[in-house]
Amino acid sequence: MFALPAGGGVVLGDLSDATRDAIDVACVGATGGVDVYFTLTPASAGTYVLDTCGSGLDTVLSLHTACPTGGMNQVTGACNDDACGLQSRLVVSLPAGQTFILRVGTYDGNVAPGPFTLNVAFTGVPMNDQCGSGVPMLTANVPTVSSNAGAGTDVTVSPATLCGTFSGSGGGADVWYRFKPASTGSYTISTCGSAIDTVLSLHAACPGSGSDVLVCNDDAGPTLCPANRFASTLTWALEAGRTYFIRVAGYRAGGPAGTPMTGAFTIVVQSSSAAYGACCDGAGMCQVALATACANTYAGDSTTCGPATCGSSPGACCIGTTCTESTSVACASAAGSLGSQFVVASACNAPGVRVVPCCHADFDKDGGIGVQDIFAYLNAWFGGSPYAAVEGDGVRTPDVQDVFTYLNLWFAGGC
């Protein structure tokens, strides 16, 4: 087998006299044809782009850890049929020193074999490959030109329909940016004018995950992005001084296991003229939202959420030994048969963590501390209720130490 240049280069190959050796590879639609093999041993860890783009042959590429090659030893996700026309491209992050086997094959036995060009490119990992405090901060109305070449995939947005209508709309090969608006308002984030098919998502926290996605977009369409309808754009109400995280990813051609698009893109964040303000939901909770998206009480353009914006002050909601930040209405609704205690203008240290605002000695939640609380606690303890685990050691099964902890709280009047 011919060794590929670890630092990158162009290799000319030929499938004219090849036969089929490989066990079936894990590429959607590829039924297999004749194949040849190359070895690749990275001198240093990094990302490789391997493609046959520009060749006049319908190819399939796959990367493996051993011979004979097949689905069992294929590098995860490293199989591609069509990435650039009928040619193929792999983007893989590889460790240093390990030898990999690259298979180049025709799509199936009906493709007449012939010569091909194999392009090998090694790229370092982008500085904003992973979400974190060190990623670049975008400035409003200032376009930034960058690339996701060499990036790994931090987040898989699931389901992909959160972003678009295709199975590959969740994206991959993502890079990250931060944005902190100087004023509360509606902002539009766009990759219009980019060379690649992008997926754009806005996240409330970092590291980003599928659960903290505020909004996501795959294809903006020809009206918003006439130069490249596969670029992305989204509009959202942002609060002044809060840091948001923006993910730019490549569309995954062929679905979730497909190879993501990589290359140059342009990103810009611009102020929008859309109306925004404080929106109250049916439970009395408040969040800044677009006026057109507020289904209940809208406090007015440019308003922000405050303690009494929605007529119900937020506070700490104690149910058993758990504490969540809520309103009195939502707290009573969530308690069910367990009973609850609401402490106005108090905050929990973290959702689900036992904290000071919850009066744990008042176990039956009747507003006072008495002998009946001890009976209620012991009944819960003997029943193995997780609400009896008041020690705060993270174990949700009550033990003897929890009894001592509760009695100490009770004798101390312990809220």
How many domains are there within the chain? 4
Q: Last residue of some domain: 238, 271, 304?
A: 271
Q: Residues 89, 148: one domain?
A: no
107-128 residue pLDDT tens: 887 888 899 999 998 877 777 8
Does residue 130 belong to any structural domain of this protein? no
The answer as to whether 91 is a domain residue is yes
Both tokens of residue 185? Answer: 């308002």
Rounded to the nearest angstrom, the gap between the alpha carbon of residue 300 and the centroid of all alpha carbons in its chain is 32
Q: Mind listing the pLDDT tens digit for each residue in 63-105?
A: 999 988 877 888 876 888 887 888 988 877 787 889 999 999 9
267 belongs to a structural domain: yes
238 and 281 in a single domain? The answer is: no
> Same structural domain for residues 322 and 298?
no
Query: 411 or 248: which carries more pLDDT confidence?
Result: 248
- pLDDT tier at 200, thresholds 50, 70, 90: very high
Note whether residue 164 is domain-resident: yes
Q: Domain end: 244, 271, 298, which one?
A: 271
Same domain, 299 and 372: no
Segment 323-352, tens digit of pLDDT: 776 666 667 666 554 556 666 555 554 433
**Do 404 and 352 lie in a common domain?**
yes
| Strand pairing report for 2-3 and 35-40 | parallel
* Residue with the two structure tokens 């973290």: 350
Model pTM?
Answer: 0.45
- Which CATH number does the domain housing residue 92 bear? 2.60.120.380
Write down which residue in 123, 158, 181 finishes a domain: 123
Do the Cβ atoms of 270 and 193 come closer than 8 Å?
no
**Residue 176 pLDDT > 80, yes or no?**
yes
Are both 323 and 247 inside the same structural domain? no
Whether residue 131 is contained in a domain is answered as no
pLDDT in the model for residue 379:
78
Give the residue numbers spanning the domain of 167: 144-271
Is the per-residue pLDDT at 19 higher than 80?
Answer: yes
Classify residue 325: in a domain, yes or no: yes
pLDDT in tens, 222-265: 877 877 889 999 888 888 899 999 999 999 887 787 888 887 78
Distances (CA, A) of 150 to 47, 49, 187, 191, 235: 5, 8, 29, 19, 28
* Residues 83, 191 within the same domain: no
